[in-house]
Amino acid sequence: MKDVPVIKTVRIPSVTDEVIAPSDDTAAAIRALAERHHVTYVETANDVLAHHFTRLAGDDVEFDDTERLLIALQRAGHISRADAVLLQAAYLRQAKL
C-alpha cells in the first residue's frame, strides 16, 4: 500500500491579525494602515461606472472615506480582498454601536 503524503497546513497571519482587535477603533486602524503605506483613494472611471450601475439598479451605495481607503489599500496590494471584507465588516459593525 502506498504511503499517503501528509499535508500540514500553516496559517499565514493576515493584516487583520495585526490591525484588528475586538476593542479597537477599526476606522482609526484603517486610517493608520493607509497612512503607514502612504495610500489615498483615487476614483477611477470604473468606480464611476460601477456607481452608475448600482444606482440604476436601485441599489445606490455610497462608500464613506474609510471604506474608500479599504479599496485603495487593496488596490495597492497592502491587504487582500478577504482582509478588506473582514475590515469592512468590523468597521460597519462598530459604526452601528
- Determine the pLDDT at residue 16: 59
Q: Report the number of distinct structural domains present in the chain.
A: 1
Residue with cell 500553516: 10
SS3 content of the chain, % helix, strand, coil (to 5): 55, 0, 45
Are the CB atoms for 75 and 34 separated by under 8 Å?
A: no
- Determine the pLDDT at residue 5: 55
Domain span at residue 66 reads 15-95
Q: Global pTM? A: 0.75
24 domain residue, yes or no: yes
1 domain residue, yes or no: no
pLDDT along the chain (97 residues), means of 10: 52 58 77 94 94 90 93 94 92 86
57 domain residue, yes or no: yes
- Determine the pLDDT at residue 91: 92
Are the CB atoms for 46 and 32 separated by under 8 Å?
A: no
